[in-house]
Amino acid sequence: MKQIAVIGAGTMGNGIAHTFAQSGFKVQLIDISETSLERGMSTISKNLDRMIAKKKISEADKKQTLDQITTFTSITDGVKNVDLVVEAATENKELKLKIFKQLDADCPEKTILATNTSSISITEIASVTKRPQMVIGMHFMNPVPIMKLVEIIRGYSTSNEVTETIMELSKTLGKIPTEVNDYPGFVANRILMPMINESIETLYNGVAGVEEIDTVMKLGMAHPMGPLQLADFIGLDVCLSILNVMYDGFKNPKYAPCPLLVNMVMAGKLGVKSGEGFYDYSESRKAEQVSKRFS
């Protein structure tokens, strides 16, 4: 494998593109928005600068990595002659099904089609293609260049050869691939999202406040970040979407999203991306924190 296409230049997409490019692969980064592509490339550049500052790479390594990435606003143009596509678009089932129909039509027959979905059925995504045996899940963790785990999810028809190829490919990226079966939420989110949802229920029921809940989990359970803060970083809309996928898939009330989460998403309080979630990430709040630090 030499040519990789990545669909989506957002947080996950640019991280995946960065990781492949830094490992020596030619990457074709695709997004319908030129602005998103520019923002994604800027993020990759800044993340490489952080690695230079930590003396993990050189300026020459940065240039070489950036030179490996070409951007496209057309899927048709961006997937010509690629060996693998990794789709990292928004966690929306209808959008992913639409993208995979197009990928199946536009990609060479040899191309493996992977999705970075964190919860949506690989089997269902594969069903809209004529190559279900070549469709697989590659669920990277955020931030992609740093986190070692990749969940490798086999659909019902995914071939052994494709699974082995993607497992080995993940290792060449310096990742630790873990094979799991195709059930809603897979492993990571099937365990993580109920914990986040229960944390929100604990807040909703008035058991404790935001900072108190996060403090208990950080100090008592040795979590690097509290579940409510983590939800803000993931995006409350993404958390809601994943919980809905699991609730629809299992029909088990334990996966039903907390009403507080539903209301916050409807109100546009999505976490870091909107400037407010369980915590305040607005510029005025940052200025207040800086002022306190130096007072």
* Catalytic positions, written as ranges: 118, 139, 151, 189
117 known member of a binding site: no
State the virtual CA torsion across 75, 78, 80, 84 in degrees, nearest 10.
-90
Q: Is 98 known to sit in a ligand binding site?
A: no
* Alpha-carbon separation of residue 107 from 34, 43, 131 (angstroms): 22, 28, 11
Smallest CA-to-CA distance from 106 within 23, 28, 12 is with 28
- 188 annotated to a ligand binding site: no
8 in a known ligand binding site: yes
155 is in an annotated binding site: no
Q: How close are the terminal C-alpha atoms of the chain, in Å?
A: 56
Q: Binding site annotation covers 226?
A: no
Query: Residue 201, annotated ligand binder?
Result: no
CB–CB of 279/232 below 8 Å?
A: yes
Q: What angle do CA 31, 35, 40 make, to 5 degrees?
A: 65
Find out whether 9 is annotated in a ligand binding site. Answer: yes
Q: Is 91 annotated as belonging to a binding site?
A: yes
Whole-number Å distance between alpha carbons of 18 and 173: 11
Q: Backbone phi, then psi, for 113, in 5-degree steps?
A: -110, 115
Binding residues: 8-13, 31, 91, 96, 118, 142, 273
Binding residues for NAD(+): 8-13, 31, 91, 96, 118, 142, 273
